[in-house]
Structure 1
Amino acid sequence: MTLVTVQDIIETGRQSSLTGTVLAEWAEKGTPKQREYLHGMLTAEHKSRQQSRRQRLLSAARLPALKSLSGFDYSNVKFPQDYGRDALTSLEFINQAEDLVLYGDVGTGKTHLASALVAAACRQGIPARFFTASSLVMQLRRAKDEGRLDRELASIAKNQLLAIDEFGYLPIDTEGARLLFQVIADGYEKRSLIITTNHEFSRWGTVFGDDNMAAAVIDRIVHHGRLLQFRGESYRVKHALMK
């Protein structure tokens, strides 16, 4: 009888994609203790794959810093009357393909909350990406210049949640505005969008350089979206070394 080594098992496992039929057959052959051992091995394998997937998603999200919802200070946040903290952190808005606009003063936690929501989604196995508005526009423009815009848009569309940070902080030219509009319009009722901005809706026309385009974006976001308002002193100013 040939002795089966640990390495033999590892190599065979890497080559195998287990089916229900094979699992049922071998489980029936086994003793209760053997079935318990097999169940434990499969459970450990599943957990390992889930953890690897979460790590891949977090890496692919391109977060500026890894943030958590735990301990986030909501004192600067004003929620809509029909929506609160528990509903937000449940991430149910992603399942419903709803949008969030985080609007308000600089340094009050908008980017932190957007980053934390993206990270939380990844930890639940939900594909998500984080962009600044300017980096997204540059990425799309580069893809268009290289003749691969459709592939870039398809790659972005694989995410169930997109966060666009610092919307309106830097000017966007006409081509960039159209590319940004395409991403937002393509995601309507298909995936969730988080936008952080210090511009009220009435000023979005200046960001896009086109009032009609801005109105079309706002119309889509308002339909399935909620506005969270941030008010208060900048965290960075409050804790600055330079006074």
Structure 2
Amino acid sequence: MHHWLREVFSLDNPQLLRIQENLKVLKLHRTSQQLEMLLQEASKNEVSYSDFLDKLLEEEISLKHEKHMALSTALAKFPYIKTLESFDFSFQPSIDPKIIRELATCSFIDRAENLILLGPPGTGKSHLSVALGLKAIQKKYRTLFIPATALIASLNKAYAENRLEERLKLYCVSKLLIIDEIGYVPVDVHGAHLLFQLISRRYERGSIILTSNRGFGQWGEIFGDTIIATAILDRLLHHSTVINIKGESYRLKRSNAPD
């Protein structure tokens, strides 16, 4: 046993108490809580000074990462937590796993590029958007998920209250904005213009993942105006990856499964 550990490891040792207090001041909470156990392990295994310090720092980094992930995931407002590892690529052969793995590196966020996921309901578009959002959070990119209907309603409300600029800035804070389910509910022309302002504000500054059950040729119907639809698509598609999912619905598969 190292002599310094023999001296320090004592429940009534004022030095041990002082170390714990200093750890709390430095907000090294996990080390403070586990100090006695770590000292016991170090004593038992006769670890070197550098190994002991390495273990302390590893524990603290692990805790900070856990806290970051928990807080950032809560702030992202995902409707559920789904990972890429749980996505069944064999059920959706129209999706190239290599492209998804490349997107999971989040290099597209570094380049402020967009991702558009098109396909019928239930084909995994939202699953993929959430999973890629989680990858972005792991790489410390601020992320926000919002259904398209809620986004349009929020922008309309802000406009009516003369707070549109404030709301646009809010939606531009996140490096990755996920807009889910464009096309499920028609958007009036005023709402479309507000959405265009947001997309223009984020253009080449922040990434968007957008999911839709409607092909681009139908976006004029969604927004009730072909010109504004074309303008929105022009901004979205300039720097983007488009994935068109042509498979079956997972939900229908499950509902048709035998009991």
Deviation at 1:58, TM superposition (A): 0.5
Contact 1:58 1:123 in 2 (8 A): no
Deviation at 1:10, TM superposition (A): 4.2
User: Which residue in the other structure is 1:151 paired with?
Assistant: 166
User: Which residue in the other structure is 1:191 paired with?
Assistant: 206
Q: Which has the higher helix share?
A: 2
User: Which residue in the other structure is 2:247 paired with?
Assistant: 232
Match of 1:3 among 9, 14, 24: 14
User: Which residue in the other structure is 1:71 paired with?
Assistant: 86
Q: 1:197 to 1:8 in 2, by over 3 A?
A: same
Task: Using CA pairs under 8 Å that are at least 6 residues apart, name the structure with larger relative contact order, 1 or 2.
Answer: 1
Paired residue secondary structure (2:26): helix
Contact 1:77 1:228 in 2 (8 A): no
Query: What are structure 2's unaligned runs of at least 5 residues?
Result: 1-12, 29-46
Aligned AA for 1:64? P
- Give, in whole Å, the separation in 1 of the partners of 2:27 and 2:103: 40
Instruction: Establish whether residue 164 from structure 1 lines up as the match of residue 179 from structure 2.
Output: yes
Aligned AA for 1:153? L
Deviation at 1:93, TM superposition (A): 1.5
1:143-168 Cα deviation digits (max 9, x unpaired)? 33334332322222121111111101
Alignment of 1:45-124 (within 5 A): 45-74=60-89, 75-76=91-92, 78=94, 84-124=99-139
Deviation at 1:12, TM superposition (A): 2.5
Q: 1:104 to 1:42 in 2, by over 3 A?
A: same
Count of aligned positions = 224
Larger Rg: 2
User: Which residue in the other structure is 2:9 paired with?
Assistant: none
Contact 1:100 1:226 in 2 (8 A): yes
Contact 1:204 1:211 in 2 (8 A): yes
Mean alpha-carbon deviation: is it higher for 37-46 or for 116-125?
37-46
Aligned AA for 2:112? A
TM-score normalized by the length of structure 1: 0.81
Aligned AA for 2:64? R
Query: What are structure 1's unaligned runs of at least 5 residues?
Result: 16-31
Paired residue secondary structure (2:85): coil
Contact 1:77 1:229 in 2 (8 A): no
Paired residue secondary structure (1:190): coil
User: Which residue in the other structure is 1:12 paired with?
Assistant: 25
User: Which residue in the other structure is 1:25 paired with?
Assistant: none
